[in-house]
Chains A and B, each alone.
Chain A
Amino acid sequence: MSASLYTTRRIKNVLAMILSVAATGIGLLFLAWILWETLSQGIAGLKPALFTKITAYREEGGLANAMVGSLILNVIGILIATPIGVMAGTWLAEYSRRSRLGPTIRFLNDILLSAPSIVLGLFVYTIIVLPSQWLTNGDVTFSGIAGGIALALIALPVIVRTTDEMLRLVPGTLREAALSLGVPQWKLTVQILIRAARSGIVTGVLLALARISGETAPLLLTAFGNNFMTFNPLDKMPSLPQVIYDYTKDPSPDINTLAWAGAFVLTMFVLALSLVARFVFSRSKVSHD
C-alpha cells in the first residue's frame, strides 16, 4: 500500500519534470525556428541595393528610404520620450513620496507599458494628424512628426519605469549627505542622483529604442509610409516595419524576399540593441558595488 503510494508520487514527479523540460524545449524550439527562418530567408535576400535604393523601384529597388525613415522616426521618438520620461520617473522616485498621485501614476504607467500600441496610434492620429490636416488645409496629413510622437508614447512608460526604479536604488545616504551640505533639491537631483543612476537610465532608453524600432501598427496610422526618400518630418514617412508589412502582403515572391531581408536587418538591429542594453546594465551593476 505505502509502496504503491510512493511509486505513484515518484511517477507523478518524474512526469512533471519531463513535461517541464518539454515545455522549455518547446519555447526554445520556437525561438530557434523563428530566428532560423529570419536568418536564412533574410540572408538570401541581402544585396547591396537593399541599402542604396528606395522602395519606389519595387523588385529592383531596396529599402534605403525605409531605413532612413525608421532612423528619423526613432530619433524623434527617443528625443521626445527621453527628457519627459526621465523627468516623470524622477518625480515618481524623488518627489511623489507624500502624495497619493505618485503611486497612482506609477500604477497607470505600468498599464500604459502594455497598452495596445494601435490604440495609442489612433490617439496620436486624433491629436496630431487630424489637426495638422485641418490647420494646413490638407498639405500636411500623416507625417514623420506624428509617427515620432506615437513612438514616443510607446517609449515613454519604459523610460519612466527604469528611471524610477534606478533612482530608487540610489542609496539614501547620498541624498542626506548632499542635503546636509545645503544643496538645493533640484541640484541634488540633477547633479548627483541622475548621475548616479545614469547607466541604468541609459539602459532604459536603449530598451525603449529596441521596443519602438519594431513597432508597426501605430506607424500605419501616423507616419503612413512613402515610396521615396524623405528627410522632411512633415512628409509622410516610410519605416522599415511598415514596408515589411506591405511587402509581406504583396503577392510577388520577389517582393516577399525583400520583406525577409528587411526583417533580417530589423531583427538584428533590435537584438543587438537589447544586447548593448544588457551590457550597459551589467556594467552599471559593477560600478554600484
Chain B
Amino acid sequence: MHATVSSNVPTTARAEEAARNARDTRNDRLFAGLLKACALLVLIALIGAATSTLWLGRDAFATFGWGFLTSSAWDPTNNQYGALVPVMGTVLTALIALVFAVPVSFGIALFLTEIAPNWLRGPVSSAIELLAGIPSIIYGMWGLFIFAPFVATTIKPWLMNHFSADPPDGQVSWLVQHVPFIAKFFSSEYPFFGAGIFTAGLVLAVMIIPFISSVMREVFQTVPTRLKESAYALGSSTWEVVWDIVVPYTRTAVIGGIFLGLGRALGETMAVAFVIGNTFKFTPSILETGSTIASTIANQFGEAEGLQKSALMAIAFLLFVVTFIVLLIARLMLRRLATKEGS
C-alpha cells in the first residue's frame, strides 16, 4: 500500500524525505545524548563531592589512620587532629533536634489532616512551610542574639536545677541523688552561657520541623478515606484512628520523613555555627559547648593550611558519607510509599 503511493511521488521529493528523516534521526540522537549528559551531571556531582573531599583529606587519613575517627584531639597549634568531637557534636545536635522536632511535627501533621477545620488548613500549612523558606543564616542570627540568651536565662537554669550535680539554686534534686551518671550529661562549666550543644539542637529542631511535618502531612493524606471512615464507624475516637489506622498504614514513609529531617540536621552549617560555641573539648554533657563537622569547616577553613585543611576535608568526607546513607534510607522508605500510591 505504502509502496504504491510512494511510487507515484517524484524521486526528488522522496530523496528529500529520506534526507529529512536521516536529519531528524541524527538530531534526535544528538538531542537525547545532550540531555543524558546533563542528567549524568547529577551523578558526577555526588561522586565528585565524595572523591574530592576524600582526595584532599588523604593526608589526614594517612597521618592519623583509624585513630582519626577515635581521637578527641583537635589542636591546630600542635597539628593534632581527630574527628571524634565534631562527629559527636554533629550526631548529638541532630538527635536532640529529632527528639523535639518529631513529636511537634507529628502534632502539626495530625492537626492539619484531622483536627483543623478546612478553612484553617491552607493558611496554617503555608505558615509552617514559610519556616522552611527562611534562610539558615537567619536562624543562626536569631539563635545567637535572641534564643541563646533565652536559653541561658530560662531553659538552662531549669535543666541544671533538676538534672545537674551543681545546680544554680544549690539544691541537688532527688533525681540526681538517685540516678547515677545523669548529672554528667547536664553539667556546665559556664552556667550563664547560652551557646552549647543543647541550644544548637533546639535551633535545628525548629529548622527541620517544616520538613518532617510536611512529609507526615502528605503521607497522612494518602490513607484511604474508606479505611478511616470504617474505623470511625466502629466508634473509634480521632486519636485511635490516627494511632491505630493512619500511623501503621504510613509507618515506613513517616520514618522516611524523619530520616529526611535527620539528614538536614546533620549537614546544617549556619544555624549551628553561631550557637554551638565551637570548642573542641570532649564532654558527654549536652549543656557544654562543642562543635559539629559543618561548623568546624565554616569556622576554620579560611585560615586552615596543610594538615589542618586536610583534616577539615577528611571530616567533610565523613559528613558526606553519613548524610548520604541517612538520605538514602529516607528516600528508600519514601519511595515505597510512592509505589503504594501508584498501585
List A residues at the B interface (Cβ < 8 Å). Answer: 9-10, 12-13, 16-17, 19-24, 26-28, 30-31, 33-35, 37-38, 41, 83-85, 87-88, 90-92, 94-96, 101-102, 104-105, 107-112, 114-120, 122-123, 126-127, 153, 156-157, 160, 184-186, 189, 210, 213-217, 220-221, 224, 241, 244-245, 248-249, 256, 259-260, 263, 266-267, 270-271, 274
| Interface hits, B84-140 → A, CB 8 Å | 103-108, 110-112, 115-116, 124, 127-128, 130-131, 133-140
Specify which chain B residues have a CB less than 8 angstroms from the CB of A189 in the assembled complex.
Answer: 31
Taken together as a complex, chains A and B put the C-alpha atoms of A12 and B32 apart, in Å, by 58
Q: Of residues B28, B38, B116, which shows the largest number of chain A Cβ atoms within 10 Å of its Cβ?
A: B38
CB distance from B155 to the nearest CB of A (A): 14
Counting from the closest, the 7 A-B pairs by CB-CB distance are A23-B107, A214-B135, A116-B267, A91-B35, A186-B31, A126-B52, A13-B237
Given contacts A27-B128, A84-B38, A114-B260, 18 further A-B contacts (CB under 8 A): A13-B238, A16-B238, A20-B107, A23-B105, A34-B206, A85-B38, A87-B39, A90-B35, A114-B263, A116-B269, A119-B267, A119-B319, A122-B49, A122-B313, A186-B28, A186-B30, A214-B137, A263-B137
Per-residue CB proximity of B299-343 to A under 8 Å, as 1/0? 001100000000001001001100110011001000100000000
Once A119-B49, A185-B31, A263-B138 are accepted as A-B contacts, the answer to whether A27 and B316 lie under 8 Å apart by CB is: no
CB distance from A109 to the nearest CB of B (A): 5
Specify which chain B residues have a CB less than 8 angstroms from the CB of A244 in the assembled complex.
Answer: 137, 141
Specify which chain A residues have a CB less than 8 angstroms from the CB of B327 in the assembled complex.
Answer: 110-111, 114-115
List, sorted by A's number, 16 A–B pairs whose CB atoms are closer than 8 Å. Answer: A20-B110, A21-B111, A24-B108, A35-B134, A88-B38, A114-B264, A116-B266, A119-B316, A119-B320, A119-B323, A186-B28, A217-B294, A221-B301, A248-B137, A267-B135, A270-B134
CB distance from A69 to the nearest CB of B (A): 15
Q: How many A-B residue pairs have CB under 8 A?
A: 262
Q: Of residues A21, A123, A127, which shows the largest number of chain B Cβ atoms within 10 Å of its Cβ?
A: A123
For the residues of A in contact with B, the DSSP-based class is: helix
CB distance from B115 to the nearest CB of A (A): 6
CB distance from B92 to the nearest CB of A (A): 17
A12 touches B53 (CB 8 A): no
A266 touches B52 (CB 8 A): no
List B residues at the A interface (Cβ < 8 Å). Answer: 24-25, 27-28, 30-32, 34-36, 38-43, 45-46, 48-49, 52-53, 55-56, 103-108, 110-112, 115-116, 124, 127-128, 130-131, 133-142, 144-146, 206, 209-210, 213, 237-240, 242-243, 260, 263-264, 266-270, 273-274, 294, 297-298, 301-302, 313, 316, 319-320, 323-324, 327-328, 331, 335
Taken together as a complex, chains A and B put the C-alpha atoms of A90 and B277 apart, in Å, by 45
In the complex, which residue of chain B has the Cβ closest to the Cβ of A215? B135
B139 touches A34 (CB 8 A): yes
B42 touches A108 (CB 8 A): yes
Partner of B108, one of A23, A35, A263: A23
Taken together as a complex, chains A and B put the C-alpha atoms of A245 and B273 apart, in Å, by 10
CB distance from A221 to the nearest CB of B (A): 6
Specify which chain B residues have a CB less than 8 angstroms from the CB of A111 in the assembled complex.
Answer: 46, 324, 327-328, 331
Specify which chain A residues have a CB less than 8 angstroms from the CB of B145 in the assembled complex.
Answer: 37, 41, 248, 256
